[in-house]
A and B are shown apart, each in its own frame.
Chain A
Amino acid sequence: MEVDTVFFTDHSGRVNSNPLLDQLPSYQSLLYRRKSSTAGPKRKGSSKARRSSSGSGKWAVNTVNRNEEKQKTLTLQRPIRELAKSMAEKRRNKTQCLENDQGLSSWRQWKQNTGRHLRRLRDDAQEWLSYLQLWRGDIHLIEGMFGTGILSYFSFLRFLVMLNLIIFVLVFSFVMLPIIIAPHAGGNITYNQNDGSNCSVYPSSARRGLVNFHEHITDLLSGGGFLEQTYLFYGYYKADKIHFPWTTYNLPLAYLLATVAYLFLSLVWIVKRSATGFKRNLIQDEDRFQSFCNKIFAGWDFCITNENAARLKRSSLLYELKTDLEEERIKQKIADRTRKQKCRIYLIRFILNLFVIGVLAACFYSIYIATIFSQEAQMSTVKVNFIVDLIFEYLPSIVITMANFITPLLFSFIINFEDYSPAFEIRFTLMRCVFMRLTSIGVLLFSLWSQITNCEKGSCVCGYNDKLYSCWETRVGQEMYKLTIFDFIIIIAVTIFVEFPRKLIVNYCDCGLAKWWGQQEFSIPQNVLEIVYGQTICWIGTFYCPVLPAICTIKYFFIFYVKKVSLIKNCRPSTRPFRASSSNFFFLGVLLIGLLLACVPVTVSVAQINSSRACGPFVNYTTSWEVLPSTVSKLPQGIKGLLFALASEAFAVSFFVITCLAMFYVIALAGAHKRVINQLREQLVMEGRDKRFLIQKLCQAQKISAIRSPVSKSQPRTSRSSPSYHTSFSNNFDEAVFLAHSPPDSSTHV
């Protein structure tokens, strides 16, 4: 280690700090940190709350005093409890504040008192609101036991519950409520006319005669039978207009706009929530920026009180550090790769990616086949058996679930051969799994549509196959409903039939299987994908099945408790830590992908595919979207002109150009800031060197003057613990060289 001539060591091995350094203004500011300008008026109006600085050094006192005056005029002071001093000093400060307060005029006092009361009111209100937060106690408990990674999963779940609830309230109040209250509020509903044409025949699917109990179960699970003609599905909303005494309510328009509104609301809410995470990610612009420092200084979770948890935390920190070191080594290795090795690696990667694509294609094809088979089985009148029927109905869901179960295992096995860095491996596998999950829904929908628009004799008269699918939206809604129910059943079944037995086996059985299998770890990425998958289905399905958000709310509500119990009873905390800071961003990012993916089918079906003639609110229109232009054409001229102008090409192009300009400006600004930061960083290095150089010179000068005049050196050590900052630093003034007794050097006097 280099010998630093600035510092002296005594025999005990402790380095005594040079008191000069403690008197530097940058050091004094440790005590009185200037708060940013957004500080509220949290102040006790004190004109002199600041005590004198470190013991001696008049010049230091003067300079710091001057700085403090400047600071005080610029900003408001901090509350006493936020100062880094001991209790005794804080109390002294407070008594001084009190004394100073007496001297203020009554107007000021009144102002301060009101300010205080308002603040207190605001704090109480905030606290009261936080009590209303759902599951606060549970989540706190989980956080304490398992850390912040898993906490973020559960708070994400809570967010989805809230989101679904709000979506349901939105859809309910605009679509269902008018229909429900119409009879009570004197409204008159005009229904869509069955004009008797070919396409408008809608056979009732209610079961006739004596119905078996198990048929009720089938209906409940598949959304058919008695559930089909209910508020649950699109087909029930046949109302065209509702004439209230005071206004006419256009239900088709409301239905369409509610759809657009809930998609937009979800988008806004998710973006808002991810904005914080995104900002944080931007600050860490490099991949491995500060990772070691973070782990050493901010790595330990101070809330851990359990010995096991402490051991786990330690091993996870260890794992993280070792991973980082491994990353460094691999980076080195990658840089050292020869050309031949590179070619080999690229070839392997290419082959494996082809293999992955092949696997994905196979999965998608099997989903397609399963959907077609399931649809045909439902259409056929030959019913084999209750259970077999149910299986046929649920066949697409079963295939999707199995594919989603196998492919992650496959992907995590393959990635070992592709020789990426560990962090990239994790991310890449995750991306593949996300793609798999979300695209499988798309494939299901695509195969459904191919069935719906597939007519025997060439092109379809009504735009869809009306013989088999007289109300195709309800069918799609039923499929989404089935997916949701099946998802829920699978989650509960896996927990009960896989995780609990696993725990029992691992705990009580000492065989090789138990050792190899190991205890369950709560795998955050897979669980998050599960619920994002469910949420995507909900977004797609709400257009066809307006009650689906409510079902999803209840589903997530129960999933929370199921997962929580499973976590506490079955799982041990993961040895591979999941970064909490980036996890929120990851969750919301995946959710956003799901939302964007959900918009595509909804948009296509609204705008492209002809709406059913036999059911639903859009009977009188060709496509669902058409209700909007037809409503706009009935508006008064002024508004119509405005709306047409907004939708015209001229407006769109100019809007696009302006947005591009704004984006370029912001990017340029960011680049300029980066340059400035780099310059400042270099400047800081220079300043540090300057400081050390000057202090060295100063110490040399002091030594020389001390040697020359030994008398003046014997200074009292009385003020050894300076009153203003009682810290451990002050204990080291054993051999202080107090500058008060040599004239201040103008070069160091600020």
Chain B
Amino acid sequence: MGNKQTTFTEEQLEAFQDCTFFTRKEILRLHSRYRELAPHLVPLDYTNSPEIRVPLTLINTMPELKENPFRDRIVETFSEDGQGNQTFNDFVDMFSALCETSPRELKTIHAFKIYDFNRDSFICKEDLRKTLNKLTKGELTAEEVTLVCDKAIEEADLDGDNKLSFSDFENMISKAPDFLRPAAALTLTAAGSALITQDQDQDQDQDQDQDQDQDQDQDQDQDQDPGCIIMSASVLKCN
């Protein structure tokens, strides 16, 4: 029967649905995006869970990540080997954590890891300096950079060790109103990419949404409008 998809087994799809914030359709679409990055590397059939890793450089070509100054760190954070080579599990995990429906706490944890360049579980001044330089691409003078970093640490450091521990960071983020708004930090949704609307052929496969046992199903895709260039319509969730 042409309707059945052959990429994943049912158990795999269920597992994905439970462990991420995506629906079946979106997971399959993610798989096709993943495959697009390296068609010769990634097989169509994932039923036996092959151990394929797509390298960092290819993942960084995705339009959602291409313009992001932290793309390297994001991909590294969500990769098992820490070098940025992502398996499909990592790939899905990354987008799940960054999508709109993932809760603030989860995003805060991952944000902390992303901004911690030297992975010492603290955001020290050096990390801050690197973050700022990535943000502004060296447009600030060194003196201004130092000043800004000092001020930032002064604002957020609660326990007085001149570094930001996770609790400092979390406390600061909880007061940052821009953090969780859709189209704000750490949320990958919304417009701009024309690549993504062409997955029409995948749509026919997943028309029946089977009732899952452990469902936290939030079936919210909006792929009705093929002309709509909202990325989330085909890749990620959208509120």
Residues of A participating in the B interface, judged by any CB pair closer than 8 Å? 1-2, 7, 13-17, 21-22, 26-27, 30, 33, 35, 42, 44, 79-84, 86-88, 90-91, 94, 97-98, 116, 119-120, 123-124, 127, 130, 137, 140-141, 143-145, 147-148, 151, 280, 283-284, 289-294, 296-307, 309-310, 314, 317-318, 321-322, 324-325, 328, 579-581, 681, 684-685, 687-689, 691-692, 726-729, 731-732
Please tell me which stretch of B1-9, B32-40, B197-205, B222-230 contacts chain A, meaning at least 4 of its Cβ atoms lie within 8 angstroms of it. Answer: B222-230
Chain B residue, CB-CB nearest to A684: B158
Q: Which residues of chain B from 81 to 128 have any CB-CB distance to chain A below 8 Å in the complex?
A: 82, 89-90, 92-93, 96-98, 102-103, 105-106, 109-111, 113, 115, 118-121, 125-126, 128
Q: Given A30-B166, A124-B219, A141-B191, check contact A87 B121 (CB 8 Å).
A: no
CB distance from B151 to the nearest CB of A (A): 5
Contacts A/B (CB < 8 Å), 9 sampled: A79-B216, A140-B191, A289-B175, A293-B155, A304-B192, A325-B144, A684-B159, A728-B119, A732-B119
Chain A residue, CB-CB nearest to B144: A325
Chain A residues near B111 (CB-CB < 8 A): 297
Chain B residue, CB-CB nearest to A276: B177
Q: Given A84-B110, A290-B156, A292-B151, check contact A297 B176 (CB 8 Å).
A: yes
Taking a contact as CB atoms under 8 Å apart, the answer to whether B148 and A689 are in contact is no
A-B pairs, 3 with minimum CB distance = A688-B159, A144-B191, A144-B190
- Pick the contact of A297: B76, B96, B172, B218 (CB < 8 A): B172
CA distance A727 to B132 in the complex (A): 23
CB distance from B212 to the nearest CB of A (A): 9
Decide if the interface of chain B is mainly helix, strand, loop or mixed. Answer: loop
Taking a contact as CB atoms under 8 Å apart, the answer to whether A728 and B76 are in contact is yes
Taking a contact as CB atoms under 8 Å apart, the answer to whether A145 and B191 are in contact is yes
Chain A residue, CB-CB nearest to B179: A298
Chain A residue, CB-CB nearest to B156: A293
Chain B residue, CB-CB nearest to A7: B120
CA distance A305 to B187 in the complex (A): 12
Q: Given A81-B20, A94-B19, A317-B135, check contact A143 B190 (CB 8 Å).
A: yes
Q: Given A144-B190, A314-B136, A728-B76, check contact A292 B92 (CB 8 Å).
A: no
Taking a contact as CB atoms under 8 Å apart, the answer to whether B89 and A302 are in contact is no
Interface centre among A141, A300, A302, A310 (most CB of B within 10 A): A302
Taking a contact as CB atoms under 8 Å apart, the answer to whether A127 and B89 are in contact is no
CB distance from A689 to the nearest CB of B (A): 6
Chain A residue, CB-CB nearest to B109: A84
Taking a contact as CB atoms under 8 Å apart, the answer to whether A91 and B191 are in contact is no
Chain A residues near B118 (CB-CB < 8 A): 13-15
Interface status of B46 (Cβ within 8 A of chain A): no
Interface status of B152 (Cβ within 8 A of chain A): yes
Chain A residues near B110 (CB-CB < 8 A): 84
- Pick the contact of A140: B96, B147, B238 (CB < 8 A): B238
Decide if the interface of chain A is mainly helix, strand, loop or mixed. Answer: helix
Q: Which residues of chain B from 159 to 180 have any CB-CB distance to chain A below 8 Å in the complex?
A: 159-162, 165-167, 169, 172-173, 175-179
Chain B residues near A726 (CB-CB < 8 A): 80
CA distance A280 to B174 in the complex (A): 11
Taking a contact as CB atoms under 8 Å apart, the answer to whether A94 and B15 are in contact is yes
- Pick the contact of B155: A292, A729, A731, A732 (CB < 8 A): A292
Taking a contact as CB atoms under 8 Å apart, the answer to whether B160 and A731 are in contact is no
Interface status of B188 (Cβ within 8 A of chain A): yes
Taking a contact as CB atoms under 8 Å apart, the answer to whether B19 and A302 are in contact is no
How many inter-chain residue pairs (CB < 8 Å) link A and B? 263
Chain A residues near B229 (CB-CB < 8 A): 141
Taking a contact as CB atoms under 8 Å apart, the answer to whether A296 and B158 are in contact is no
Could you give, for residues 140-154 of chain B, a 1 whenever the CB lies within 8 Å of some chain A CB and a 0 otherwise? 100010011001100
Taking a contact as CB atoms under 8 Å apart, the answer to whether B19 and A148 are in contact is no
Chain B residues near A314 (CB-CB < 8 A): 69, 135-137, 139
Taking a contact as CB atoms under 8 Å apart, the answer to whether B225 and A580 are in contact is no
- Pick the contact of B178: A7, A580, A692 (CB < 8 A): A580
CB distance from A5 to the nearest CB of B (A): 12
Taking a contact as CB atoms under 8 Å apart, the answer to whether A137 and B184 are in contact is no
Taking a contact as CB atoms under 8 Å apart, the answer to whether A298 and B193 are in contact is no
- Pick the contact of A298: B102, B161, B185, B222 (CB < 8 A): B185
Chain A residues near B102 (CB-CB < 8 A): 81-82
Taking a contact as CB atoms under 8 Å apart, the answer to whether B230 and A140 are in contact is yes
Taking a contact as CB atoms under 8 Å apart, the answer to whether B214 and A94 are in contact is yes
CA distance A304 to B147 in the complex (A): 28
Taking a contact as CB atoms under 8 Å apart, the answer to whether A688 and B160 are in contact is yes
Taking a contact as CB atoms under 8 Å apart, the answer to whether A27 and B121 are in contact is yes
CA distance A145 to B76 in the complex (A): 28
Taking a contact as CB atoms under 8 Å apart, the answer to whether A304 and B67 are in contact is yes
- Pick the contact of A137: B20, B217, B225 (CB < 8 A): B225
Taking a contact as CB atoms under 8 Å apart, the answer to whether A303 and B190 are in contact is yes
Taking a contact as CB atoms under 8 Å apart, the answer to whether A303 and B217 are in contact is no
Taking a contact as CB atoms under 8 Å apart, the answer to whether B159 and A687 are in contact is yes
CA distance A484 to B136 in the complex (A): 45
Chain B residue, CB-CB nearest to A691: B159
Interface status of B77 (Cβ within 8 A of chain A): yes
Chain B residue, CB-CB nearest to A123: B218
Taking a contact as CB atoms under 8 Å apart, the answer to whether B131 and A296 are in contact is yes
CA distance A398 to B167 in the complex (A): 58
Taking a contact as CB atoms under 8 Å apart, the answer to whether A290 and B176 are in contact is yes
CB distance from B122 to the nearest CB of A (A): 8
Taking a contact as CB atoms under 8 Å apart, the answer to whether A98 and B183 are in contact is no
Interface status of B189 (Cβ within 8 A of chain A): yes
Chain B residues near A729 (CB-CB < 8 A): 119, 121
Q: Given A298-B179, A728-B77, check contact A290 B67 (CB 8 Å).
A: no
Interface status of B72 (Cβ within 8 A of chain A): no
CB distance from A129 to the nearest CB of B (A): 12
Chain B residues near A137 (CB-CB < 8 A): 222, 225, 228, 230
Taking a contact as CB atoms under 8 Å apart, the answer to whether A321 and B158 are in contact is no
Chain A residue, CB-CB nearest to B139: A318
Taking a contact as CB atoms under 8 Å apart, the answer to whether B178 and A298 are in contact is yes
Interface status of B210 (Cβ within 8 A of chain A): no
Chain B residues near A17 (CB-CB < 8 A): 119-121
Taking a contact as CB atoms under 8 Å apart, the answer to whether A1 and B125 are in contact is yes
Chain A residues near B160 (CB-CB < 8 A): 685, 688-689
Chain A residues near B190 (CB-CB < 8 A): 140, 143-144, 303
Taking a contact as CB atoms under 8 Å apart, the answer to whether A296 and B184 are in contact is no
With contacts A296-B152, A687-B159 known, what are 9 further pairs, Cβ within 8 A? A15-B119, A82-B105, A94-B19, A143-B190, A147-B183, A293-B172, A305-B66, A688-B159, A727-B113
Taking a contact as CB atoms under 8 Å apart, the answer to whether A318 and B136 are in contact is yes
Q: Which residues of chain B from 47 to 79 have any CB-CB distance to chain A below 8 Å in the complex?
A: 63-64, 66-70, 76-77
Taking a contact as CB atoms under 8 Å apart, the answer to whether A87 and B93 are in contact is yes
CA distance A70 to B190 in the complex (A): 41
Chain A residues near B172 (CB-CB < 8 A): 290, 293, 297
- Pick the contact of B67: A44, A284, A309 (CB < 8 A): A309
Interface status of B28 (Cβ within 8 A of chain A): no
Chain A residue, CB-CB nearest to B103: A82
Chain B residue, CB-CB nearest to A140: B230
Q: Which residues of chain B from 19 to 45 have any CB-CB distance to chain A below 8 Å in the complex?
A: 19-21
CA distance A170 to B85 in the complex (A): 60
Chain B residue, CB-CB nearest to A579: B178
Chain A residues near B151 (CB-CB < 8 A): 292, 328
CA distance A292 to B184 in the complex (A): 16
CA distance A612 to B1 in the complex (A): 78
- Pick the contact of B185: A16, A79, A302, A732 (CB < 8 A): A302
Chain A residues near B92 (CB-CB < 8 A): 87
Chain B residues near A140 (CB-CB < 8 A): 190-191, 230, 238
Q: Given A144-B230, A306-B67, check contact A728 B136 (CB 8 Å).
A: no
Interface status of B239 (Cβ within 8 A of chain A): yes
Taking a contact as CB atoms under 8 Å apart, the answer to whether A88 and B173 are in contact is no
- Pick the contact of B214: A97, A296, A301, A731 (CB < 8 A): A97
CA distance A293 to B111 in the complex (A): 13
Chain B residues near A301 (CB-CB < 8 A): 183-185
CA distance A306 to B109 in the complex (A): 27
Taking a contact as CB atoms under 8 Å apart, the answer to whether A15 and B120 are in contact is yes
Chain B residues near A116 (CB-CB < 8 A): 214-215
Chain A residues near B161 (CB-CB < 8 A): 688-689, 692
